Amino acid sequence: MRVEGSGASPPAGDGGALGYGEFLEVINDSESERHREMLEWRGGRFDPEAFDLEMVNRRLGRKHV
């Protein structure tokens, strides 16, 4: 079986699905008063289209106790 994916995972602490939608709206609007604040909170940049299959596979391979 082959599993694939797309898009970046939402940042932790973004407020769930509604919060993630607002986050994306703000970072995609460079005129927003909160644009810089949100990007800084996220480490300076965020690409919602980014997907790293190797990283996902590493995370899925970890044993959670």
Q: Which domain holds residue 42?
A: 16-61
| Alpha carbons 22 and 19: distance in angstroms, whole number | 5
Question: Which residues, 6 or more positions from 10, have their beta carbon under 8 angstroms from its beta carbon?
Answer: 19, 20, 23
How confident is the model over 12-61, as pLDDT tens digits? 777 787 888 899 999 999 999 999 999 898 888 888 888 988 888 888 88
Sole residue written with tokens 């008063």: 33
Q: With bands split at pLDDT 50, 70 and 90, how would you rate the model's confidence at 3? A: low
Domain count for the chain: 1
- 6 falls within a domain: no
- Report yes or no on whether pTM surpasses 0.85: no
CB atoms within 10 A of CB 57: 10
Q: In the structure encoding, which two tokens stand for residue 44, read together?
A: 């300076």
- 1 falls within a domain: no
Q: What is the pLDDT of residue 2?
A: 63
